Structure 1
Amino acid sequence: MPFDAWLTLAVVAASFLLMALSRLGPDVILLGAVIALFGVGIIDADEALGGFSNSGLFTVAFMYILVASIRETGGIDLIIRYLLGRPRHELGAQGRLLLPVSAISAFLNNTPVVATFLPAVLSWSRRLRLPAHRLLMPLSFASILGGTCSLMGTSTNLVVDGLLRERYPERALHLFDIAWVGVPVALVGLAYLMLVGRWLLPRRRTASDVFENPREYTIEMQVDPQGPIVDKSVEEAGLRHLEGLFLVEIERDGNVVSVVGRGERLKANDRLVFAGTTEAAVELQQIRGLRPTGQGQSSLKKAFAERRLVEAVVSEQCQFLGRRLREGHFRTFYGASVLAVCRHGERVSGNLGQIRLQAADVLLMEVRPAFVERHRQSRDFLLISELNGQARPHHERAWVAWSIMLGVVGLAAFGVLSLLKAAMLGVALALMTGCCSIGAARRGLDTQVLLTIAASFGLGAAMESSGAAQVLAQGALSLADGNPYLLLIGAYLVVALLTEVVTNNAAAVIAFPIVTGAAQQLGVDIMPFVIAVMFAASASFLTPIGYQTNLMVYGPGGYRFSDYLRVGGGLSVLVGAVTLVLIPLIWPF
């Protein structure tokens, strides 16, 4: 194997390891890899920058803006309002949730779909007195399954189709070509989730008892020196018998009172540590004489009525990951006061300021109204949802946004326009009709995903030009012993495993030249292998880190890593089996 091929494989392997083990974003890692390969001369400028001109990348970008127009007009909120209803049992609740989510995800990117449904499902589950963690993991899995039903369902489908159009224009796919496999996969997967998966979901806690609640928090408040409870006992201050809360400890002048009696006198600036739920934390704000820790000279100077209480899920890209809240000056950096932290569905013990943030932690924060819009697309948080005072979208334009989206689907489905041109026209109409502002369109673009896709094309080009893809293809052929079906199974398994630990777009783009090269050397059609790469890259059910929607529900659902293996293991096997049986029937070798 040539030296260039060895060097390319080393860079690709190092990139995968960094994406799996480090906190650096995949866009930073892959762009660094492309720059390194360009610097040593393995790829030229055209190959390094080729991803930025690929039609698949631009189609993904335009689809993000169309989704933003639906989100801005409250289009998904209307569907939630009319579809969820009041089912009488858990199976009915899962059916009302999973079927529309999978259907919507066939046309909208699943990340914003889950981001919109998640706070609604949390509220809905409380009304139904059904534990939210019985619904959130199926919500994520249903959105992934729905995304396999059309080219526009996931960015990975669009990217692989872009590669196909670029290298094999005559083999380009139409919008619903993959539905022949995607719809059966989605139906089988949804049936598994409702009939089998719900028995595998954890049954740890109920919502009726605060200490059996799956979302316990540590809540820290401070005694206002000018407030009415200074020098009063805990009982006189009304802190002894709070509904849904108990006083765990008092920190005073560097010392801790760990067993708090009813006669304990409160002093100015005492730090009180409570345990309770989100709702209880909100009620705690109403007690005169208490304030969030460190609120002495608050930067949140507006009246309380103009503030917001929000929940935010910490991303694995958060700048404060692994740092203590107090030492990192979290409040100064974000203009937000952390009131509580939830991890794996349980309260985090100890002093709030000493808690080190981890990915998927759920933070309850008091913020100014501008915080929500400023950080809604921030890579530091996977999800931000308001608990009170939420501004409602302009629903009167929701039908316009949905009409534009349906028009895009119709033009692409009937071959009137390519998906790229249809999406471009749809974006222009969304901006002209006011469904989406320029600012909202800009915020709707997920630049990390777009840069990751563009950089992945550079790595794919390096794999081809260096000869590494050809060598790996020959190795795959020897392992498959010339059997195209074994090669198909091997390609699916490798991409499915890669997508659990690295970004799905990178796994698909880098695998594409290898599997198509192997198919050509074997003398069989490339299409079964292209479709296998598409589906394998979306089959991420085993870990919370393999797919962004899985990580979004990980913290709010109070899940453990093993829960994904238990529920997602069977689903992965089932989806893989159905996919590998149907692909050769629809696209013969």
Structure 2
Amino acid sequence: METRRFSSRIFAFRTRKQLFLLALVGLIASCAIGLFSLVADSGFELSWQGWATIAVTLGVFVLNAIATLPAEIIFLGGTGVLYVSGILSESDALAGFSNPGMITVAVLYIVVTGLSQTGGLNWISQRVLGLPKGQNAALLRLMTPVMGMSAFLNNTPVVAMFIPVVSNWSRKLRISPSKLMIPLSYAAIFGGICTLIGTSTNLVVNGLLISATDLPGLKLFDLAVVGLPCAIAGMIYLFVAHPWVLPNRQPVISENDDVRQYTVEMMVSKNSPLAGKSIEDAGLRHLPGLYLVEIMRDRLVIPAVSPKEILRDGDRLAFIGMIDSIVDLHRLRGLQPDTDEVFKLDTPRSERCLIEAVVSNTCPMVGLTIREGKFRTQYNAVVLAVARNGERLRGKIGSICLRPGDTLLLEANANFLAQQRISNDFYLVNGIPDTEPLRHEKATLAIAILAVMVFLTAFGLMSMLKAAILASIVMILTGCCSSIRALRNIEWSVLLVIGAALSIGKALESTGAAGAIASSLTHFAGDNPWLALAIIYGVTNILTEAITNNAAAALIFPIALALSKSLDVSFMPFAIAIMIAASASFSTPIGYQTNLMVYGPGGYKFTDFMRVGIPLNILFWLITVTLTPLFYPF
């Protein structure tokens, strides 16, 4: 009976999913038919290249919604079709992959790697985010500072900096990353529409406004009268609707799950910043799946440790917990493994990683303690923790007698993996990614490099790309991150999607397809300036979901200017609407680069953005069209 009930639930789930996808495809098909009819009836002469580009773009949308292929494959395929058919020239097809925005994203991954490898991101997480209780509080603690920073800084570095922080933070809070990554991207967009320097789009439109009209340019906070209400409404929407609209793509591990439990001992190092802090203030009480068994202080053993217990230099802390939390312990500044062996390995710590290995019954170490078998000398690796069927292993690590089936957490050179995978000493050898020991002594330097980068871009002394390249070079030269790790941390799939999306947008623009769509839709405005404003906002918003925000704004600007002149009204409301609509890209991951950046880390599907973003797009549309004429009359 239970099996039948479970099967019926699975069938119902699949049926609902199939119905949703079918409805989605039907909606896209209906929009496509209406779009083709609208352009055809408008009398706008569009070449076959324009029609083909519209078809390919819609095809990319449909495949992203229903196919299981990676997004980068679909977008590269669409770009390939446009290039092979001759619609895109070779230079235009490749232009997206040399776009400064895409290169900036790539370089920022290197900057973030420097922050991560020095522990600078952990400091930011502790100082800015803290450890709130519950998802509502977590959303508020995340979105408020991100929105404030994005109002004065470029959105891309803000989101790039917070992605690894939020990934680690969500695990500590036992919240799926998919519940926080979309709010991270959207909060950056919310902040960007509140000031003139919040996004490059605002500056582009303001420059066009000054050069093409007699109107004065906007001041720093002129956008806030419309942008701030939109941002507040967006935060309220996500705060209220997140349980229903945000997916749970990557469920966190439950405390009741049967996970491997390690026994590990750590020591509070000399002059540690943790000394003098309580267990709770030191962040040792909120690591998921980790239990502080006791503190050994000189000859005194403190069991059942209170969260108010004050740490001292030289304290030895015994933990039992899961692997991810053990890794977090090794990332905490001021804690070190309670063994001198880690300082005796030949390999520099910056070139080591953490490795799991299961002891086989033919291992020569079986029946011997780790110290007696001279494990470090034998394997050039140090045992940091041991797991044995959830059993707590007492005594120092070196005094543990190994048995077949014991799982060891080792610190070793990466070459250990290649050497021991073919050995009979271990059943299984598995590397744990991103576990190189942190370079805490360079954390202040890494944060200073980030601050200089922000300063240079905020005051216009350098472009975002130049400042990011300078910061990445300094990060590597000063040893804040290794060149190998920096290259490995670049999300190449995200960059491929950005480059291909930019190339498809170029095809929409160069073939006249985007202009034809925009001109056709504006015929509905008639003599009503409010309706014209609503249509301009809507067309800009639709285009920015398919092409870059700057391209959408630049494309609509001359159309909106001509429309305002034909209606004999002020152009300023239209300029404000274009700025907000071009940045308010919520319904697709390709519409805004920060959406693309959180797409992978959040484990999202293409349709997740539509479910969360479409109501938000409509909300921003209503607020902007209602408020803009009140502050900037026609």
TM-score by length of 2: 0.51
Note the 1:184-263 alignment, pairs <5 A.
Answer: 184-194=229-239, 196-197=240-241
Tell me if 1:137 matches 2:179.
yes
Name the counterpart of 1:372. 433
Tell me if 1:415 matches 2:460.
yes
> Does the 8 Å contact 2:114/2:480 carry over to 1?
yes
Give, as a single letter, the amino acid of the residue that structure 2 aligns with 1:118.
S
d(CA) in 1 for partners of 2:211, 2:86: 32
Name the counterpart of 1:43. 88
Tell me if 1:61 matches 2:125.
no
Name the counterpart of 1:121. 170
How far is the alpha carbon of 1:506 from its aligned partner? Answer: 4.3
Name the counterpart of 1:349. none
Give, as a single letter, the amino acid of the residue that structure 2 aligns with 1:145.
A
Name the counterpart of 1:257. none
d(CA) in 2 for partners of 1:52, 1:587: 39
Q: 1:28 to 1:190 in 2, by over 3 A?
A: same
How far is the alpha carbon of 1:580 from its aligned partner? Answer: 4.8
> Does the 8 Å contact 1:42/1:462 carry over to 2?
yes
> Does the 8 Å contact 2:94/2:503 carry over to 1?
yes
The structure with the larger Rg is 2
How far is the alpha carbon of 1:14 from its aligned partner? Answer: 1.7
Name the counterpart of 1:110. 159
Give, as a single letter, the amino acid of the residue that structure 1 aligns with 2:433.
V
SS of 1:42 mapped into structure 2: coil
2:563 maps to which of 522, 526, 537: 522
> Does the 8 Å contact 1:496/1:537 carry over to 2?
yes
**What number of residue pairs does the alignment pair up?**
422
Name the counterpart of 1:357. none
Give, as a single letter, the amino acid of the residue that structure 2 aligns with 1:469.
A
Give, as a single letter, the amino acid of the residue that structure 1 aligns with 2:430.
R
Name the counterpart of 2:74. 29
Alignment deviations for residues 134-185 of structure 1 (CA, whole Å, 9 cap, x no partner): x96256414421344249x9xx956x68987999996999999977765554
SS of 2:585 mapped into structure 1: helix
> Does the 8 Å contact 2:577/2:624 carry over to 1?
no
Alignment deviations for residues 394-441 of structure 1 (CA, whole Å, 9 cap, x no partner): 233222222222222222222323333333333333233222332233
d(CA) in 1 for partners of 2:469, 2:492: 18
d(CA) in 2 for partners of 1:396, 1:100: 26
d(CA) in 2 for partners of 1:576, 1:367: 55
Give, as a single letter, the amino acid of the residue that structure 2 aligns with 1:519.
A
> Does the 8 Å contact 1:535/1:579 carry over to 2?
no
d(CA) in 2 for partners of 1:562, 1:41: 34
Tell me if 1:460 matches 2:508.
no
How far is the alpha carbon of 1:78 from its aligned partner? Answer: 0.8
Q: 1:429 to 1:96 in 2, by over 3 A?
A: same
Q: 1:546 to 1:140 in 2, by over 3 A?
A: closer
Tell me if 1:146 matches 2:188.
yes
Give, as a single letter, the amino acid of the residue that structure 1 aligns with 2:486.
A
Q: 1:62 to 1:3 in 2, by over 3 A?
A: same
d(CA) in 2 for partners of 1:439, 1:215: 36
d(CA) in 2 for partners of 1:536, 1:187: 14
How far is the alpha carbon of 1:472 from its aligned partner? Answer: 1.0
Unaligned runs of 5+ in 2: 1-44, 261-288, 290-320, 327-355, 362-378, 388-416, 418-427, 565-570
Name the counterpart of 2:585. 537
d(CA) in 1 for partners of 2:485, 2:225: 35
> Does the 8 Å contact 2:358/2:429 carry over to 1?
no
1:20 maps to which of 48, 65, 75: 65
SS of 1:49 mapped into structure 2: helix
Alignment deviations for residues 428-483 of structure 1 (CA, whole Å, 9 cap, x no partner): 33233222332233234333333333333332332233222232122111133365
How far is the alpha carbon of 1:13 from its aligned partner? Answer: 1.8
Tell me if 1:472 matches 2:520.
no
Alignment deviations for residues 235-291 of structure 1 (CA, whole Å, 9 cap, x no partner): xxxxxxxxx9xxxxxxxxxxxxxxxxxxxxxxxxxxxxxxxxx969999x999999x
d(CA) in 1 for partners of 2:485, 2:202: 27
Q: 1:588 to 1:4 in 2, by over 3 A?
A: farther
Q: 1:92 to 1:162 in 2, by over 3 A?
A: closer
Q: 1:563 to 1:494 in 2, by over 3 A?
A: closer
Note the 1:414-563 alignment, pairs <5 A.
Answer: 414-481=459-526, 485-486=530-531, 489-490=534-535, 493=538, 506=547, 508=549, 511=552, 515-516=556-557, 518-523=559-564, 524=571, 527-528=575-576, 530-538=578-586, 549=598, 552-553=601-602
Q: 1:568 to 1:449 in 2, by over 3 A?
A: closer
SS of 1:439 mapped into structure 2: helix
TM-score by length of 1: 0.55
d(CA) in 2 for partners of 1:517, 1:6: 22
SS of 1:43 mapped into structure 2: coil
d(CA) in 2 for partners of 1:109, 1:72: 18
Q: 1:80 to 1:113 in 2, by over 3 A?
A: same
Name the counterpart of 1:74. 119
Give, as a single letter, the amino acid of the residue that structure 2 aligns with 1:453.
I
Q: 1:527 to 1:54 in 2, by over 3 A?
A: farther
Q: 1:45 to 1:513 in 2, by over 3 A?
A: farther
Give, as a single letter, the amino acid of the residue that structure 2 aligns with 1:116.
V
Q: 1:86 to 1:477 in 2, by over 3 A?
A: closer
d(CA) in 1 for partners of 2:542, 2:85: 30
d(CA) in 1 for partners of 2:218, 2:443: 30
d(CA) in 1 for partners of 2:542, 2:256: 34
Give, as a single letter, the amino acid of the residue that structure 1 aligns with 2:66.
L
> Does the 8 Å contact 1:8/1:37 carry over to 2?
yes
> Does the 8 Å contact 1:496/1:539 carry over to 2?
no
Q: 1:575 to 1:109 in 2, by over 3 A?
A: same
Q: 1:493 to 1:111 in 2, by over 3 A?
A: farther
> Does the 8 Å contact 1:68/1:440 carry over to 2?
yes
Alignment deviations for residues 203-258 of structure 1 (CA, whole Å, 9 cap, x no partner): x9xx9xx9xx86876989xxxxxxxxxxxxxxxxxxxxxxx9xxxxxxxxxxxxxx
SS of 1:368 mapped into structure 2: strand
d(CA) in 1 for partners of 2:221, 2:108: 16
SS of 2:81 mapped into structure 1: helix
SS of 2:187 mapped into structure 1: helix
Note the 1:376-415 alignment, pairs <5 A.
Answer: 392-415=437-460
> Does the 8 Å contact 2:357/2:429 carry over to 1?
no
> Does the 8 Å contact 1:463/1:510 carry over to 2?
no
> Does the 8 Å contact 1:74/1:394 carry over to 2?
yes
SS of 1:23 mapped into structure 2: coil
> Does the 8 Å contact 2:588/2:610 carry over to 1?
no
How far is the alpha carbon of 1:5 from its aligned partner? Answer: 1.8
How far is the alpha carbon of 1:484 from its aligned partner? Answer: 5.9
Q: 1:432 to 1:115 in 2, by over 3 A?
A: closer
Name the counterpart of 1:271. none
Unaligned runs of 5+ in 1: 126-131, 221-243, 245-277, 291-300, 310-334, 336-365, 374-389
